[in-house]
Amino acid sequence: MNILVTNDDGIRSRGLRELVRALSEVGTVSVVAPDQERSGTGHAVTMHRPLRAVEISGIPGAVQAFQLDGTPADCVKLGVEVLLEHRPQLVVSGVNAGPNLGTDVLYSGTVSAAVEGLIMGIPAIAVSISDHSEEWLGLDKAAQLAAGAARAIMKNGLPEDTLLNINLPRLPAEEMKGIKITRVGIRRYRDFVEKREDPWGRPYYWLTGEAVDMDEGPDSDTRAVKDGWISITPVRFQLTHEEFMKELASWNLD
């Protein structure tokens, strides 16, 4: 199996390197990842400037590796279309430092890279841990789970419009309760904007936010991870609200 590994934390991320190591026991791994941190870029693609890819070495387990001055979605596009010698049969994005739960999937460069794989007809996995610290709590377990999921996909396949979004709680592996198959919850943010001034008196802004888990249903990804479970969610990019189509057709929209 030819596997493309990418992320949004950048080519130097410890999470990416651990993921490559684990997946190299499953198949032939190639890497195309951003040259720097690209978290929160969603599904952005670069269309108004050229992209530059540099082949690098020093990632154990990878047969090819490139750093790209673009977004995670760019990495998958160029990897599949131009950079890699063989078309990947699986895209794996991660391991992300920080969870991608609920509505995070719409902001996440990690998940969007996996979605780009689906758009290109390639099965995909996104994997994240809940630890933002230097400790990377749960990283080994996350990489092992990604490898296990890759083997399962190789055996069973996935629906063509579906990826697996894997999230681990911020716990040592031995304290995690197990795996729950979950749905995407609702996770909104209380935004904070901090206004500052540069030395010339011109304003600039820092945008931050605090997560607010709105959907605490027992089968939601947000609740599962909060309660110490590993969440695996089958995510589709089909966004149509089909149940509402008939009613919408009855509206006078002229």
Q: What are the tens digits of pLDDT across the range 230-247?
A: 999 999 988 899 999 999
- Model confidence at 217, in pLDDT bands (50, 70, 90)? confident
What is the predicted pLDDT for the residue at 215? 61
Record the tokens describing residue 44, joined without a space. 């952005």
Q: Around 13, how many Cα atoms within 13 Å sit in the side-chain half-sphere?
A: 33
What is the predicted pLDDT for the residue at 238? 85
Q: What are the tens digits of pLDDT across the range 81-140?
A: 999 999 999 999 999 999 999 989 999 999 999 999 999 999 999 999 998 887 889 999
> pTM for the whole thing?
0.93
Record the tokens describing residue 247, joined without a space. 């009613």
Sign (positive/negative) of CA torsion 74, 167, 165, 86?
Answer: positive
Tell whether the model's pLDDT for residue 211 goes beyond 80. Answer: no
* Rounded-to-integer distance, Cα 122 and Cα 158, Å: 10
Q: Say what the alpha-carbon torsion angle 217, 218, 223, 227 is, to the nearest 10 degrees.
A: 150
What is the predicted pLDDT for the residue at 195? 93
Could you give the domains of the chain?
2-186+216-250 (3.40.1210.10)
Residue with tokens 């996909």: 153
Q: What are the tens digits of pLDDT across the range 13-72?
A: 999 999 999 999 999 999 999 999 999 899 999 999 999 999 999 999 999 999 999 999
* Rounded-to-integer distance, Cα 81 and Cα 13, Å: 24
Q: Mean pLDDT of all residues in the chain?
A: 94
Tell whether the model's pLDDT for residue 165 goes beyond 80. Answer: yes
Tell whether the model's pLDDT for residue 213 goes beyond 80. Answer: no
- Model confidence at 187, in pLDDT bands (50, 70, 90)? confident
